[in-house]
């Protein structure tokens, strides 16, 4: 098929004379792919206007507490792809990463080993989460910062719900001399990502649901190690195969062990050493 207006693409790229080498590389690719998309889709002027309107509304939806562009990136698989590109040479013994999501709320209260992250009662099933943080050689990472967060049983994070105490179901722990962490919580539940904006409209237009399978978030960091951003998912969740943000990896799906009404998840994390 004949290329429509090929010299336009070369003209746009040819004018980036003041760009740094990386800026030139990235923007040339972006323009080539964007122009190829318009040509291949034979995008109509109405469709182009609808796209501009969609992106405008996406920006207008953003605030300090709502990042609609991250949601858009997540539901289109872009966030997981950027994560995969960053970790493609990960060694054996390093835990798989997944999306950060928009509900990490910055520094959170530090608790002692074994304490509960709940600030009020929930009707969820009690859960103990424990394990070790080590490097790929099996050496404990002592004093690693283990930040965790999850939703309440009403499917909302504290930052989405003014009825929850600030800091409910999120906390920071430090690993001990053996690299151990342990805390008490409740079994997480599946929940819909915020779908009252453009990202939600797009999901509906594509015939997709907004749900994420039940998970607990972890961000684990230590000065000489690469920060690990990940989740643990519950085996058997009905959304494991259709996570709205494509974040599930088989190695992150765990089966709690249930004894006397209390479930326990034992999971060891592997952190890469900083290069
Ligand atoms: C989350 O797991 O908190 C999340 C991730 C991506 C989009 C929305 C929520
Ligand atoms: Fe989440």
23-77 residue pLDDT tens: 999 999 999 999 999 999 999 999 999 999 999 999 999 998 899 999 999 999 9
213-250 residue pLDDT tens: 999 999 999 999 999 999 999 999 999 999 999 999 99
1-16 residue pLDDT tens: 689 999 999 999 999 9
The count of domains in the chain is: 2
Query: Looking at the structure, do residues 116 and 229 belong to the same domain, yes or no?
Result: yes
Query: Looking at the structure, do residues 116 and 169 belong to the same domain, yes or no?
Result: yes
Query: Looking at the structure, do residues 12 and 86 belong to the same domain, yes or no?
Result: no
Query: Looking at the structure, do residues 202 and 146 belong to the same domain, yes or no?
Result: yes
Query: Looking at the structure, do residues 79 and 10 belong to the same domain, yes or no?
Result: no
Query: Looking at the structure, do residues 142 and 199 belong to the same domain, yes or no?
Result: yes
pLDDT at 90 over 80: no
14 belongs to a structural domain: yes
Show the DSSP H helices in the chain as ranges. Answer: 6-14, 21-41, 45-61, 68-75, 78-86, 198-205
Q: What pLDDT is attached to residue 261?
A: 83
pLDDT, the chain, mean? 96
pLDDT at 107 over 90: yes
pLDDT at 92 over 90: no
66 belongs to a structural domain: no
Q: Tell whether ligand 1 has an atom less than 6 A from the beta carbon of residue 245.
A: yes
191-212 residue pLDDT tens: 999 999 999 999 999 999 999 9
Q: What pLDDT is attached to residue 275?
A: 81
Other Cβ atoms closer than 10 A to 74: 24
Instruction: Give the contacts of 187 (CB within 8 A, at least 6 positions apart).
Output: 124, 125, 127, 214, 234, 256, 263
Assign residue 244 the CATH number of its domain.
2.60.130.10
Range of the domain at 97: 75-270
Q: What pLDDT is attached to residue 1?
A: 67
Task: Give pTM, 2 decimals.
Answer: 0.95
Hey, whose CA ends up nearest to atom 9 of ligand 1? 101
Query: Looking at the structure, do residues 38 and 83 belong to the same domain, yes or no?
Result: no
242 belongs to a structural domain: yes
Over residues 134-158, the mean pLDDT reads 97
Q: Count CA within 13 A, CB hemisphere, residue 243.
A: 23
Query: Looking at the structure, do residues 163 and 256 belong to the same domain, yes or no?
Result: yes
Q: Tell whether ligand 1 has an atom less than 6 A from the beta carbon of residue 158.
A: no
Query: Looking at the structure, do residues 79 and 39 belong to the same domain, yes or no?
Result: no
Ligand at shortest distance from the CA of 99: 1
Query: Looking at the structure, do residues 191 and 237 belong to the same domain, yes or no?
Result: yes
Ligand 1 midpoint to CA 194 (Å):
9
Ligand 1 midpoint to CA 39 (Å):
34
Query: Looking at the structure, do residues 115 and 181 belong to the same domain, yes or no?
Result: yes
């Amino acid at each position: 098929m004949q290329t429509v207006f090929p010299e336009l693409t070369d003209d746009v790229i040819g004018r980036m004379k003041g760009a740094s080498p990386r800026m030139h590389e990235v923007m040339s690719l972006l323009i080539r792919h964007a122009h190829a998309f318009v040509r291949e889709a034979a995008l109509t002027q109405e469709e182009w206007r609808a796209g501009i309107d969609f992106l405008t509304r996406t920006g207008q939806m953003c605030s300090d507490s709502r990042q609609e562009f991250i949601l858009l990136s997540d539901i289109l698989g872009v966030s997981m792809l950027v994560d995969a590109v960053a970790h493609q040479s990960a060694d054996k013994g390093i835990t798989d990463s997944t999306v950060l999501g928009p509900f990490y709320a910055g520094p959170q209260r530090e608790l002692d080993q074994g304490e509960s992250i709940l600030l009020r009662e929930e009707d969820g099933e009690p859960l103990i989460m424990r394990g070790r943080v080590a490097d790929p050689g099996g050496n404990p990472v002592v004093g690693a910062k283990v930040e965790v967060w999850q939703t309440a049983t009403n499917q909302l994070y504290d930052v989405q719900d003014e009825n929850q105490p600030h800091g409910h179901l999120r906390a920071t722990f430090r690993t001990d001399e053996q690299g151990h962490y342990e805390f008490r919580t409740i079994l997480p539940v599946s929940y819909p990502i915020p779908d009252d904006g453009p990202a939600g409209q797009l999901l509906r237009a594509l015939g997709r649901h907004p749900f994420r399978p039940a998970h607990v978030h972890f961000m684990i960091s230590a000065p000489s190690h690469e920060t690990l951003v990940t989740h643990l998912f519950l085996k058997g969740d009905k959304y494991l195969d259709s996570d709205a943000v494509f974040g599930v990896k088989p190695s992150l799906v765990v089966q709690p062990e249930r004894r006397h009404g209390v479930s326990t998840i034992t999971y060891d994390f592997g952190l890469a050493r900083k290069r």
